[in-house]
Amino acid sequence: MTLLGLDNLTLTQTAAYVGGAAAMGLGAIGAATGEGFTASRASEAIARNEEHAGDIIKNMLVGQAISESASIFSLVIAILLLFMDMPDPGIVKAASLLAAGLCMGFGAIGSGVGAGLPAGRSCLAIARQPAVSGRITTNMLIGTAVCQTPAIFAMVVALILLFKPAGGAAAFPTSAALIGAGLSTGLAAIGSGYGGGMAAGASCEGVARQPETTTAVTTTMLVGQAVAQTPSVFGLLVSFVLMFRSFPESTALSASVGLLSAGLCMGLGGIGPGIGNGMTAEGAVRWVARRVDYSGDLMRIMLVGQAVSQSTAIYAMVVSLVLIFVV
């Protein structure tokens, strides 16, 4: 079977190039925005506290280096897509390469922007409390590193999509399922990455405000980020089902559209709850720094609030699973 009258090799190569462009083009959005935010906050911080300009610039550069990692993942996937060998060209391989590019491209947006937030806010925090700049930088490094998790999920899915042998799978609906798998993890990572960044940003401010609460603030931040990553774990789950379940051949339009729609549903549905969970974690972390004696109460209400605001992501996962297994 051929698509658009192209032979298999041309089709696969076209898909690989479009995928590579999407991976790098979309993947640059997040890191660039995040690093810009960091630089703007660093300038503000230096204007407030010139004597510690050295510390602030050092912190800014370290933070930007970490925000950049999401777009470096995109670069790796894009280069692989451009120069990889194509062992078994065909519609399935073409779909899987395009999906790998889309997955990494979308997946890098949230983590890039998100990692910029703690980096920028830690610069302001150092301007305010230069005595604990070491502690602020350490806290920022932990926060930004955890922000990268959704982008790492996207990279894992993209790598599997790149190297998964197309084998003898039927062109339809398998190719639609693979594109759905890419979109599911990629889009769902946007919300979780950004949300994790909000929590980490608040924790840098909190450390500067009350340096003696660092342990409680970092713990709350890590718990909040871990829960905010749940929507992207759901996205990963749906992607895996879509990638590794073998679908019976069917050229019916509805079979293909249904699987694509399953990925799209989970991907889009993960964005909002990821951001919302991040907001909750941000609020909790900010107030743990101010009222550390009530950190237990705050942690509990944060967990309950996050769990409830995740329910729409869970409905999206259920609709996706129904689209895959029932319809």
Partner 1 sequence: MDRLGEIHQLLIPLSGYTITINLEVLVMTGIVFLLALTFGFVASRQKKILPGKLQLIGELIVLTFFGLTEEALGRTHARTYAPLICALFIFLLISNWLGILPHLEEPTRDLNTPLSLGILGFVVAHYVGIRNKGFKVYIKSYFEPVFFLMPLNVIGELAKIVSISFRLFGNIMGGAIIILVVSYLTYSILLPPFLNIFFGLFVGTIQAFVFTMLTVVYISVQLK
Partner 2 sequence: MAIEGAELVKAAALLGAGLSMGLGAIGPGVGEGMAAAKACEAIGQNPKEAGLLTRTMLVGQAVAESTGIYSLVIALLLLFVV
Out of 62, 72, 142, 303, the residue judged to bind partner 1 by CB under 8 A: 303
Assess 324 for contact with partner 2 (CB under 8 A): no
Tokens of 168: 């003898």
Residues that bind partner 2 (rule: CB under 8 A) add up to a total of 60
Provide Rg for the chain, Cα atoms. 21
Least distance from partner 2 to the Cβ atom of residue 103, Å: 16
- Interacting residue with partner 2 among 40, 47, 322, 325 (CB under 8 A): 322
Distance (Å, rounded) from C-alpha 304 to C-alpha 310? 10
State phi, psi for 275 to the nearest 5 degrees.
Answer: -65, -45
In the region spanning residues 131 to 190, those forming contacts with partner 1, defined by CB under 8 A, are: 153, 156, 159-160
Closer CB to partner 2, residue 16 or residue 285?
Answer: 285
Residue 127 and residue 94 in contact, taking contact as beta carbons nearer than 8 Å: no
Q: Please report the beta strands in the chain, taking only residues with DSSP state E, as ranges in sequence order.
A: none
Tell which positions 211-270 bind partner 1, by CB under 8 A: 223, 226-227, 230, 233-234, 236-237, 240, 244
Q: List, as own/partner pairs, every contact residues 76-80 make where C-beta atoms lie below 8 angstroms and the sequence separation is at least 24, other chains included.
A: 76/155, 77/20, 77/23, 77/27, 77/101, 77/104, 77/155, 77/158, 77/159, 77/162, 78/20, 78/21, 78/23, 78/24, 78/27, 78/104, 79/20, 80/162
Residue 265, binding choice from partner 1, partner 2, none, Cβ under 5 to 8 Å by partner class: partner 2
Contacts of 138 (CB under 8 A, 6+ apart): none
Burial 145-177, CB ≥16 within 10 A → b, else e: ebbbbbbbbbbbbbbbbbebebeebbbbbbbbb
Question: Applying CB under 8 A, which of residues 32, 57, 268, 321 lies at the interface with partner 2?
Answer: 268
Stretch of residues binding partner 2 (CB under 8 A), selected from 41-49, 95-103, 163-171, 275-283: 275-283
d(CA 98, CA 204): 38
Contact residue for partner 2 among 12, 290, 321, 325 (CB under 8 A): 290
Question: What is the dihedral sign for C-alpha 192, 194, 198, 201?
Answer: positive
Residue 153, contacted partner among partner 1, partner 2, none, CB below 5-8 A by kind: partner 1
- From the CB of 246, what's the least distance to partner 1, in Å? 10
The answer to the question of residue 79 lying near partner 2 (CB under 8 A) is no
Q: Looking at 38-46, 123-131, 141-149, 262-270, which segment touches partner 2 (CB under 8 A)?
A: 262-270
Binding site for partner 2 (CB under 8 A): 191, 195, 231, 251-254, 256-258, 260-262, 264-280, 282-284, 286-287, 290-291, 294, 297-298, 301-302, 304-306, 308-313, 315-316, 318-320, 322-323, 326-327
Binding site for partner 1 (CB under 8 A): 153, 156, 159-160, 223, 226-227, 230, 233-234, 236-237, 240, 244, 300, 303-304, 307-308, 310-311, 314-315, 317-318
